[in-house]
Every structure is written in C-alpha cells, then in structure tokens.
Structure 1
Amino acid sequence: MHLHLILLAVGLACIARLLLFRPSQSLRWPYMLGLFLFPPLLLLVTAITILNMGQGQMLGLPVGQIGQICAAALLTGAVILLLWRAGQNWQALRQVRQYPVLRLERLDTAVTAHVLPETAMPFAAQLGFWQSQLVITQGLLSQLSAAQVEAVLAHEQAHVYYRDSFWFFWLGWLRQLTAWMPNTECLWQELLLLRELRADRWASERVDALLLAESLLQMAQAPLRNLDRSFDSSMAVGVSSARIEERIEALLGNLELSQPVDVAHLPWWLLLSFLPLLTTLAHH
C-alpha cells in the first residue's frame, strides 16, 4: 500500500505539472509559484507520512517495506541535494569575500559591493542566504554611466528587500529535486522572470524607469564569459536575454509590472499537497 501511495503521488504530481497555462497578470505570480511548489511538496509530504506510519496495515491490507525504502531514498536524496546546494553557496560566498570591497553611493544610501576586477563584462548579482552580498564586475563600472550604475544598484536593492537570494535558494533546491518532471524548467524560468519584473517594479519607483531599461538592455547584450561556475547566475541582472523584451516593455509602461506575492495570496489548492497526512487515519 505504501508503494501505491508513492506511485499515486508521483502520478498526481506529473499531471499537475501538465496543467500549465498563461493566467492573467494579476494571477501570474501565485499560479506559477503554486504550480511549481505543489509536486515537490506532495512527494515530500507523502514520503514523510509513509516513514512516520512504519509497519502495519492500511485498509486491512499489509504494508511492505518497498514503499518505506522508496520514501527513505527520496528523503535522503533530498537532504543530500540540499546540503550540496548549501555547500556550493558557501563556496561562492567564500570566494567572493576574497575580492576587493567597494563602497558605492546610491541616492542617500551607501552600498557595499565585492568587485571582480578582471571581468570586463557588466554583471551584478546577489549571493548568499538571508543576508546576501552584492557582487559586481569592473565591467559594470567602466561600461555603464554613473546614473546607469545607480539604476542597477536600485534593482539589486530590490532583491535584498524581497530576500530573493534566500527564497530562490529553496526554490532552486525544489527545481533540482523535480528536474525529471514535465514543465519544471519552464516554470523555473517563469519564476525567474517574475522575480526580475518584481525587482524592476520596485526599482522603477526609486529611479527613472527608462534609465533602468537602458541599463538592462546594455547588460543583457553582454554574454557571460569567464565567470566562475560556482556563482548562481540565476541571481544576476543581465544574465539571460530571454524574455528581456517583456521586462523592457513593462518598464516602459506597455505592460503591467508584476505585483508582489506573499503567503496570503498563494492558491488554496496548494493545501492539497498535505492530503497524504490523512492516510495515517487508515493505518493501523
């Protein structure tokens, strides 16, 4: 019976990932985030429930050890993957701290950044967990004007404000955990875009939106070369040119900028991922 529960959870998780459509802009954040979270949560809750139930009977049928072994393997793999990601993040932070520190003035706020001196391409990213650290390249300072650099720093401050490096560390873990599921990469790229749209919206309230769009376009045109692979490029401003037009159109006012999302606005059906907990009532 435990093995049947796991197979049922896997089937439902894959089916949920196939229910992908483009919602309205107001529902885009909660829908995409909920669809991304539901499958891994369902699998993890199912595995935890099975291990918690242990040996016995369910609905009058004996439960075997195969289901428990599969559940234990899933949770063990998830923990190992989490530790590996944490180690990669820590290694990147350790390397970044070896680079010189530069104090930059943004409006009335001083921003401290680690500068990669031998990198000519314009690049900016937040690295770390809850208290992230700003990393920029010498190319950002040399190729962009002072006003453009200030716009980029405002965008990066938005990532600090929303704690994006922390939350996307966990989302990135779930992404790798469910990389074998349909539409995982599509949803991940959508979440990255929504995150950048949210940061653009926050920054555009503090600096000129046109200036931010110009800075974004200039950085997006520079390919990532000779950048250390330990850096999480998903937290960079100008890494991917995919869907860059949507961000620029949003900044120019042709599209509605993405609204922030919080726990209260997550879809109610995300609670269905905890339904496996009810199976303990049928276990003896």
Structure 2
Amino acid sequence: MVVWQAIALAGGLSMIGALLFWGLDPLGDTLIGALRGGLRLVLGDPEANSPGTIHIFALSTAALLGFHLVLTLIRAAWRITRQRARHRHILSLLTEESAGNPGTLVLDHETPIAYCLPGFTGSVTVLSRGLVKRLSPDELRAVLAHEKAHLEQRHDLLLLAFASWNDALPWLPTSKLSLAAVQELVEMLADDAALREVTAPVLLRALLTVATGALGEPSGKSPAPLPAAGTGGAPTEELSSHRLRRLLTPKPPLPAAMRATILAAALLLLALPTTMLVAPGLFS
C-alpha cells in the first residue's frame, strides 16, 4: 500500500515538476536559480531573461495539471459525500439498529449482504437479516471485524485518493492499475484484522456467504435493493482469487529486513523527483 501511494505521489510530482522545470529553463540553470530569475523578472529587472512562448505554455500546463488534480479530488469528495448522505437517508427508512452490535444496521432482506458506510459524523456497518440468519456467531464476528477494520483504518480515504487520480488521468495505465491494486489491498488488510478475531476457515466461510449476496443467489433472487458500497466511496468487498489463495494457503509475513527495504524504496521513489529538481541548485 505504501509503495502504491509513493508511485502515485511521485508520478504527480514528476509530471508537474518536469513541465515546471522546462518552463523555467530560460530564467536559470537550476530550479532555484530559475525561481530567482523569475522574481527578478516580476520586479522589473531589465537584465532578467524572459521565457518564450513554448516555455510559457509549459508553465501554464504545469499549473493547469496541478489544478486539475486538486479539483478532481475535491469534486470526487463532494460527489461521494452527497451519495453517502442519500444512502444514509435510505438506510434510516429501511433498517433498524442491531441489538447486540453497536454501530450496525440490519436490513430486512433475505439476500446475504454486508458492507460499511464510512462517514466523519458516524460510520455504520450494514448487514441483511438473511446474512445474520445464515452465519454462525463466529462467522458474524468475522464479518463485523472485517467491516470495522475498513472503518477504523479509513480505507475509504485511500480509495478516494486513487479513484480521483484515475478520474483525473484515465489515459495513464498506472492510475487504473493502482486503483485495482489498492481496492484489493484494503480488503486484504481488513481480512488480516478479522483473522485476529477468528480462524481462516471461519472467515472464508463468512466471505463466501457474503459473496453470494453480491453476485445474486442461485435461486434467482436479486441482491438487496440498495446501492453497492463501492458507489458510496467505500470498499467494494469483491472476493478476488488473490484473496482466496491468501486465505486458503497462508504465507508467513515478510521478514523485518524485507519490509524495511520496501519502505526505504518507497521513500526513495517519493523523494527522487523533488531531489532531482532541487539538488542541483543547492550544490551549485
């Protein structure tokens, strides 16, 4: 997860930084020197160089790209906030509070379904009555622990960032790949939290029961008449083949040295674009 965040941030910094460096090139040999030259130009120094048309275009593109990325994030956050508000209103009409599980709403529907709805003013977990009937107490505890992990670790904010990056740069293959990878990784993180409460077979049975509700039951019944959790900016709960293999054949955690190496590589990847832009000016 840290590596994908580093890739996303480094990609944005690289694109904006390259255009910025190109546009400021006539004003100085380094980024710091170019900024000084730009300040002299703004202050009216007659000896300061002026950027040409192509360089002004590069500077404008850098500013527009940065504005586009920020605006897309704000727009996505606003859209998802409104979707969640409408979803919460629907839930207030169709659900009731769970007696034994605070912060959990029970939907009167026979299709097995479970998801979480994040929010800054109060997050909830939604279970259908059909799911509660089908699960054993341990399996129900596994589902609740899984959804609780999504809410406590604020996986919705991670998904929001990558979804907005994908919306802003849909032509960039990395943005689509990163969104799919992060969607799967947040589910694995929630699985790990649930595994601290129950065993892997119990969690697997619970997830398979929930998956039947997401796909529709063999009898032809349709899923519960509510929007999927993913449309509200929450985790999608998709049971992928990677998650299944991970639960069926657990692997030992990475050694501490490998984890430290991965974190160091992520930090290096994030620092590299900024360092390449700023370091020449510092050394000169």
Normalising by structure 2, we get a TM-score of 0.68
> Could you say what secondary structure the match of 2:104 adopts?
strand
Instruction: Decide whether the 8 Å contact of 1:122 with 1:143 is kept in 2.
Output: no
Offset of residue 57 of structure 1? 1.8
Superimposed CA distance per residue, residues 93-135 of structure 1 (whole angstroms, 9 cap, x where no aligned partner): 2123322352353xxxx43134454683513134235964434
Most deviating of 138-147 and 188-197: 138-147
Alignment match of 1:242 (pick from 240, 243, 252): 240
Q: Which residue of 1 aligns with 2:51?
A: 62
Offset of residue 213 of structure 1? 0.6
- Which consecutive unaligned segments of at least 5 residues does structure 1 have? 1-28
Q: Which residue of 1 aligns with 2:268?
A: 268
Q: Which residue of 1 aligns with 2:34?
A: none
- Listed as ranges, the matches of 1:85-234 within 5 Å are 85-98=76-89, 99-100=91-92, 101-103=96-98, 105=100, 110-117=101-108, 120-128=111-119, 132-223=123-214, 225=223, 226-228=225-227, 231-232=231-232
Alignment match of 1:251 (pick from 235, 247, 259): 247
Asked whether 1:34 is paired with 2:28, we answer no
Distance 2:183 2:246 in 1: 15
Instruction: Decide whether the 8 Å contact of 1:251 with 1:257 is kept in 2.
Output: no
**Which one has a larger percent helix, Structure 1 or Structure 2?**
2
Offset of residue 216 of structure 1? 0.9
Q: CA RMSD in A?
A: 3.8
Offset of residue 54 of structure 1? 7.2
Offset of residue 156 of structure 1? 1.1
Offset of residue 252 of structure 1? 3.7
Distance 1:41 1:154 in 2: 37
Cα 1:279–1:264 shift into 2, 3 Å: closer
Q: For residue 245 of structure 2, what is the amino acid of its counterpart? A: E
Offset of residue 142 of structure 1? 4.5
Cα 1:172–1:270 shift into 2, 3 Å: same
Instruction: Decide whether the 8 Å contact of 1:130 with 1:163 is kept in 2.
Output: no
Cα 1:45–1:92 shift into 2, 3 Å: farther
Instruction: Decide whether the 8 Å contact of 1:159 with 1:199 is kept in 2.
Output: yes
> Could you say what secondary structure the match of 2:172 adopts?
coil
Normalising by structure 1, we get a TM-score of 0.68
Superimposed CA distance per residue, residues 202-223 of structure 1 (whole angstroms, 9 cap, x where no aligned partner): 2101123211111112222333
Cα 1:233–1:162 shift into 2, 3 Å: closer
Instruction: Decide whether the 8 Å contact of 2:165 with 2:175 is kept in 1.
Output: no
Distance 1:207 1:191 in 2: 24
Q: For residue 269 of structure 1, what is the amino acid of its counterpart? A: L
Q: For residue 13 of structure 2, what is the amino acid of its counterpart? A: L
**Matched positions, count:** 244
Q: For residue 62 of structure 1, what is the amino acid of its counterpart? A: P
Distance 1:185 1:256 in 2: 29
Q: For residue 102 of structure 1, what is the amino acid of its counterpart? A: E
Instruction: Decide whether the 8 Å contact of 1:41 with 1:273 is kept in 2.
Output: yes
> Could you say what secondary structure the match of 1:206 adopts?
coil
Distance 2:189 2:213 in 1: 22
